[in-house]
Amino acid sequence: MSVYRAIYTSRPFGFDSGTLNSILVHAQRTNPSVGITGALICREDVYLQLLEGPEDEVRKAMERIRRDDRHVEFRIHVEKTVPERMFGKWAMLHDPAATWIWSREEVRNDAIERTTAAEVEGFFQKLSDRNTSPDMT
């Protein structure tokens, strides 16, 4: 069965560990009940989230998340059907993105505005590989 994949970026508004924790707790509780898996890359200057699952559920979740006032500058980079999930084992994998996406300076210099679908999908592919490759375990 095919899977719908959506990826967006946004800028955290009021980023702190309590906020992040409540977002993750909510995501990890809600997503399994609607067949969604995915990953959230978070840093104080950027969120990048990949959601995957049934198309109608992913679209509904994206709409709820878009309206959330804990972030701004919501920007969709990818919405498409794909043959399989990247994060099938995770209701919402969390990664603190210390060094391996854009640097803080790149974000300040409009990396998000200039990115491509291939670049953001590449970040998640790397994250998925890091979390599934046998030599990581």
In angstroms, the CA 48 to CA 64 distance is: 16
Residue 112 contacts residue 8 (beta carbons within 8 Å): no
Closer CB to ligand FMN, 14 or 134, in the complex? 14
Contact status, residue 91 vs residue 24, Cβ threshold 8 Å: no
Is residue 30 a contact point for ligand FMN (CB under 6 A)? Answer: yes
Among the listed ranges 68-76, 100-108, 110-118, 122-130, the one in contact with ligand FMN (CB under 6 A) is 68-76
For ligand FMN, the closer CB: 70 or 85? 70
Q: Is 31 in the site for ligand FMN (CB under 6 A)?
A: yes
Mark residues 73-112: x for contact with ligand FMN by CB under 6 A, - for none: -------------------x--------------------
Residue type, 113: E
Please identify, using beta-carbon distances, which residue of 49 and 133 lies nearer to ligand FMN.
49
Pairing of strands 71-82, 3-12: antiparallel
In one letter, which amino acid is 14? Answer: G
How is residue 58 annotated by DSSP? H
Q: Based on CB atoms, which residue is closest to ligand FMN, 98 or 136?
A: 98
Task: State the nearest-atom distance from the C-beta of 135 to ligand FMN, in Å.
Answer: 29
Single out the residue of 70, 75, 85, 94 in contact with ligand FMN (rule: CB under 6 A): 70
**Residue in this structure with the two tokens 């970026």, named with its chain if needed:** 9
CA atoms within 13 A of residue 108's CA, in its CB half-sphere: 4
